[in-house]
Structure 1
Amino acid sequence: MAALLDTDQLRSFIAIADTGTFTRAAEAVHKTQSAVSMQIKRLEETVGRPLFERDGRASRLTDEGERLLDYARRIVRLSNEALASFAETELAGRVRLGLPDDYAERYLPEILARFSQSNPRVEVTVVCEPTPMLMERIEHADIDLAIITHVSSRGSASVIRRERLLWVTSGRHAVHEQEPVPLALGRTFCTWRQAATAALDGRGKNYRVLYSSWNSTAVGAAVLAGLAVSVLPESALRSGMRVLGPADGFPTLPSCKIALVRNRADPSPLCDALAGHIVSSLDNLSAPAEKPGGDADALT
């Protein structure tokens, strides 16, 4: 009889791939590090291949581990959906979701459509704020779930999507050729902004921040009007925008990690159901064309 893959082992496997270490993965799946290590050992015995190798203090996927990761995500997602299909019909109440406004514009229609169809008696309260404010709300239990842009300094989180961070300008203007190049970015403590300016400094390219806003619509409007260059994740590209690269004098940027964080102090079936729909919805979006690299924070 063929061996079967254990979904609980796969969850721990995914957590290690997302967090980079067994310690952080154990925190994410609420198990001890030794329990997670044993799960991975058994999973490796099942597939007959090593899945991780040491890279300093971190754990890096082997080629076989990379191959398994996509299957693991799909298996876990389908398992969540199957269980939710039996439980969600009786769910009722209110669940509070937070996300930045640029994520709301791209992800919320799909999330709400899927969730409302399965849970017509559940009220979803949506809060749109920048990631740092959402993290404070999570800590104070003001919201139940939050979709954020993740960086390692924010601790462990469930990374549910990765995207390339791209330089963008108007397709009808040549503002990127100006000297110094005008930029539309987030506030000074925004890591996307810091990554963008650091990249230009490293290239010796002159620039000035002409527009600064938390609001992605305002930043996008400045770009489309041909007033400034900005940085956006790949799924946020709009009609009329042009992507800039090294050939245009704009260096490659790090990628961004989109994560889901939860209020662990008050877990509920409503949160579990909505979290499952969020993961499925973002997974169904078209995948980035290239495999991402390092971390970056969001405009929001």
Structure 2
Amino acid sequence: MLRNLDLTALRSFAAVADSGGVTRAAGFLNLTQSAVSMQIKRLEESLGVQLLNRAGRGVALTAAGEQMLGYARRLLQTNDEAVARLTGDAFEGEVTIGVPSDIVYPAIPKVLKRFHAEYPRIRVTLISSYTRRLKALFARGDCDLILTTENSIGPEGETLIELPLIWIGAPGGQAWRQRPLPLAFEYSSIFRSGVQEALDRAGIDWIMAVESDSTRSIEASVSADLAVDVLVEGAEPKYLERIQHGGALPDLARTQINLYTPAAAGSGVTALAADLIRQTYRALKA
């Protein structure tokens, strides 16, 4: 006899897998922890397999859980698309997304293109700013969801990917060879102090050659080979390039790209946008 999967339980399972824990998943789904745990337990019992390894402090997917997650995401996506298109409940409206300017590429254009193709009646407003301001806008409700670059994560956040910081300069540029090293940073750059400390530890003299509150001004200065900058790996624009310094510059820290969504955003326009962002970053990791 064929058995039917419970979509509500699948949604809880996917939320736990994406967020890394029952507590955080419960917040995203606006459910209690016990409700989420019970739904996953019923799903495991209906399948006769263990999906989560609960040993230790957190939860991890078993081999069966990893296999089930792919099916769960496809089933939920089909369900949500059918509901949205037939009822219009989640097929129109607007959503405001905040993204730091230095990680708009490469993910966000892909998100916006797919979002428009699948939900053309939803208006998307993109706010590009620095992490501290975006978190303030999110706290006030001026952004429905935000991406951040951070070394840690706060409430209502989930880490999508962790990437290294890299030195960037003009194509074929020589500014990175100069001493003191000329740096170009925005005033509000979250990476600025860490980079300076790394140079100090390496015994490399530096000067702040270019400062601005504009990302484009910094990029123009770096592309003119007046200074060097630091970006998240993969986010460098085509007119700049990663500096192959051969150890002449210190290795830099890694940073988390975090997604913040309201605890009650279990469905609707914000949830649709958040799911597309998650899918895009999962593809980047693949």
For Structure 1 versus Structure 2, the TM-score category normalised by the shorter chain is: 0.7 to 0.9
Distance 1:133 1:209, change over 3 A: same
Q: Is the contact between residue 16 and residue 24 of structure 2 (CA under 8 Å) also seen in structure 1?
A: no
Structure 2 unmatched runs, 5+: none
For 1:237, what is the secondary structure of its paired residue? Answer: coil
For the aligned residues, what is the CA RMSD?
A: 3.7
Instruction: Give the gaps of 5 or more residues in structure 1.
Output: 289-300
- Secondary structure at 2:106 match in 1: helix
Matches within 5 A, 1:165-184: 165-184=165-184
Change (3 A) 1:114 1:212: same
Residue aligning to 1:160? 160
Equivalent residues in 2 for 1:21-60, closer than 5 Å: 27=27, 30=30, 46-47=49-50, 50=53, 53=56, 59=58
TM-score, normalised by the number of residues in structure 2: 0.77
Structure 1 pair 147–79 and aligned structure 2 pair: CA distance change class (3 A): farther
Distance 1:266 1:13 in 2: 17
Identity of aligned residues (%): 25
Q: How does 1:1-300 map to 2 (within 5 A)?
A: 7=10, 8-16=12-20, 27=27, 30=30, 46-47=49-50, 50=53, 53=56, 59=58, 74-75=70-71, 77-89=73-85, 90=88, 91-152=91-152, 154-187=154-187, 190-244=189-243, 247-264=246-263, 269-285=268-284, 287=285
Does the Cα contact within 8 Å between 1:143 and 1:263 map onto a contact in 2?
Answer: no
The structure-2 alpha-carbon separation of the partners of 1:53 and 1:265, relative to structure 1 and needing over 3 Å to count, comes to closer
CA contact (8 A) 1:15 1:158 kept: yes
> 2:52 touches 2:59 (CA, 8 Å); kept in 1?
no
Q: Deviations over 1:59-85 (max 9, x none)?
A: 596xx86x7897677555434422332
TM-score calculated relative to the size of structure 1? 0.74
In structure 2, distance between residues paired with 1:258 and 1:68: 28
CA, structure 1 residues 268+85, in 2 after alignment: closer, same or farther (shift >3 Å)? closer
Please tell me whether the aligned partners of residues 26 and 36 of structure 1 are also in contact (alpha carbons under 8 angstroms).
yes
Cα distance in 2 for residues equivalent to 1:282 and 1:142: 24
Amino acid across the alignment from 2:49? T
Which residue of structure 2 aligns with residue 295 of structure 1?
none
**Closer/same/farther in 2, CA of residues 106 and 269 from structure 1, 3 Å limit:** same
Paired residues of 2:153 and 2:159 also in contact (CA < 8 A): no
State the Cα deviation string for residues 180-219 of structure 1 (Å, max 9, x = none).
101112326x331122112112212111122233433332
Alpha-carbon distance in structure 2 between the residues aligned to 1:122 and 1:176: 45
Alpha-carbon separation, structure 2, partners of 1:220 and 1:174: 16
